[in-house]
Structure 1
Amino acid sequence: MQSLRTRQTGESVSLGKQEYWEESFHRELLTVNTKCSNENCKEVGTMVMHGELHPQNDEADECVYFTPVYINPAPAVFKVEKSYPNDVSMLCRSAFHLFWVDPAACGNKIRAAVERLLDDQGIEKTITDRAGTPQLSKKGYPQPVSLNKRLKAFKTKGKVQSQCFDALDSIRWLGNSSSHVSLDTDKYSVFKSLVILKSVLEAIYLGRKIPDSMDYEVARVNVLYHPDKQRSWPKKI
């Protein structure tokens, strides 16, 4: 960390002039210039954090709590291995960046990464007739196979693919919600989807065992986004 600067936001300054102002309205932006301490890297970057004032109470002193809202270059949530398909790798890196600034857009990128994963696994993405000719829409474009049907086809390809089905399906549901009700996208669930994607990629391309924690991660996403699995909050084992 090379330098940092805090400033009160314009909206906060304006609210401070109103009669109804109270301490909890205070907001700040913290800008931090960073530099990697690794001698082989020395990458520079910028981080912006949003701060909210928490007034003094019986349990704690007055304090401003900061939350990251922008990081460039964004830290990798997981290592993108060279053996991963190029399209999937690019979408993962884009998702890492969007996670901090737009969770809904990040959810869409994760879903898109699943689509590209299925492409690499040879799962058909357009509807064809018996002769293999693509069926066209009224506008003349090839009709896509739904992600739901593609995942079901992927599930039949082998033991690992079958084990990954529920995990990838949970990402499908979160991605659908991110597209249609983006303001309600839960940032923690998006992070969980990245963790799920990491485990799936490692299982398929690195031959690693799917972790025992996967079932909880999937259930944690499904309880908010899968319409048939929202009955009870999952318990972590």
Structure 2
Amino acid sequence: MEVEVLKTLARGWTDDTWPMIPCPSCSRGELGPDDQHPLAREESWESKDWRKHDFWEPEWIHGQFHGALVCGRAQCREYVAVTGDWKLIEQRDDENRWDGDSFQPLFTPRFFLPALKLLPTAPRLEIPAPIEERLQAASTVLWADPSSAGNRVRAAAEALLDDQNIPRTATTAKGRTQRFTAHDRIVKFRTAGHPEEADLLEAVKWIGNDASHEDSLSVADVLDGVDLLEHALRLLYDTRPATLKERASRINQQRGTRPPADQ
């Protein structure tokens, strides 16, 4: 759920389209703009300079904003600092029509503190700590430096391979250390009986490669990688299927929800 909401957030929001996202502190409440302290925005020097242009239009206005979001849960009320960019866009009605005169600011985030979580909090999804740590590291830089975040998501995928006992190195017959690439390890993971999970991790690896070589990843690109990694994590670490299988077996043996009465 978080990934889809974050993708919406990456596209920007207006005053009336803020996507409610889970609080990074309590994971139970939802973040929203603080009505008592609305986001403060300033027009940039460049935007002011553009006003001198003969063909200036209101859509050229842009700048930076800062402020706080607040958790709506009364027991939490966490404040999350946010900064980013804004620009004016045409304000449209419910039928997507512009009246030819109205504009509204579109906010695009660049930083959150505390960082927003990339994966939902799920009691039955027991993700190993090294993977969670790398995803947390990715979340702290996601908005400001998506390519760096993409590298950290790839590192989380490699941590998953570590947890699945897929070696990083091997000793050759001559006693030398042979290092395996991420691709080599994914191939080993596939042949070890995890073809679906290996395909997901391979896609995460390619996204990480783009981050390393092109420095051009978007937030949406990184979130695609997180989405793929999350599915692999659910296939490997979600305890719910085993729990449901055990429950079904017990009910079938009892031929109902309760053990048969003693005869």
TM-score by shorter chain over 0.5: yes
1:200 match: 232
Q: Relative contact order: is structure 1 or structure 2 higher (C-alpha 8 Å, sep ≥ 6)?
A: 2
Distance 1:11 1:127 in 2: 56
Question: Map of 1:151-190 to 2, 5 A cutoff?
Answer: 151-158=186-193, 161-183=194-216, 185-190=217-222
Give the alignment partner of residue 160 of structure 2, picking from 90, 110, 117.
117
- Native 8 Å contact 2:126 2:239 kept in 1: no
Following TM superposition, by how much is the alpha carbon of 1:55 offset from its aligned partner in structure 2, in angstroms? 5.0
SS of 2:69 mapped into structure 1: strand
CA gap of 1:32–1:54, structure 2 versus 1, over 3 A, is same
2:258 match: none
Larger Rg: 2
Distance 1:196 1:130 in 2: 37
2:97 match: 59
1:232 match: none
1:73 match: 114
Q: Which amino acid is the alignment partner of residue 202 of structure 1?
A: R
Distance 1:48 1:63 in 2: 18
Distance 1:155 1:207 in 2: 21
Q: Which amino acid is the alignment partner of residue 53 of structure 1?
A: L
CA gap of 1:62–1:34, structure 2 versus 1, over 3 A, is closer
- Native 8 Å contact 1:9 1:28 kept in 2: yes
TM-score (norm: length of structure 2):
0.67
1:42 match: 77
Distance 1:188 1:129 in 2: 41
Distance 1:208 1:91 in 2: 24
Distance 2:74 2:104 in 1: 35
Structure that is richer in strand per residue: 2
What percent identity do the matched residue pairs reach? 27
- Native 8 Å contact 1:91 1:112 kept in 2: yes
Following TM superposition, by how much is the alpha carbon of 1:170 offset from its aligned partner in structure 2, in angstroms? 0.5
- Native 8 Å contact 1:33 1:45 kept in 2: yes
CA gap of 1:55–1:199, structure 2 versus 1, over 3 A, is closer
Q: Does 1:144 align with 2:179?
A: yes
Bigger CA drift: 5-14 or 108-117? 5-14
Residues 147-182 of structure 1: per-residue CA shift (max 9 Å, x gap): 011000011222xx2211111100111100111101
SS of 1:101 mapped into structure 2: coil
Residues 4-62 of structure 1: per-residue CA shift (max 9 Å, x gap): 21111222123334556443321032212133232333322211231122257993232
Calculate the aligned-residue CA RMSD, in Å: 2.5
Distance 1:44 1:63 in 2: 25
Q: Which amino acid is the alignment partner of residue 72 of structure 1?
A: L
2:22 match: none
CA gap of 1:56–1:164, structure 2 versus 1, over 3 A, is closer
1:103 match: 146
Q: Which amino acid is the alignment partner of residue 164 of structure 2?
A: Q
Q: Does 1:128 align with 2:171?
A: yes
Q: Which amino acid is the alignment partner of residue 196 of structure 2?
A: Q
TM-score (norm: length of structure 1):
0.74
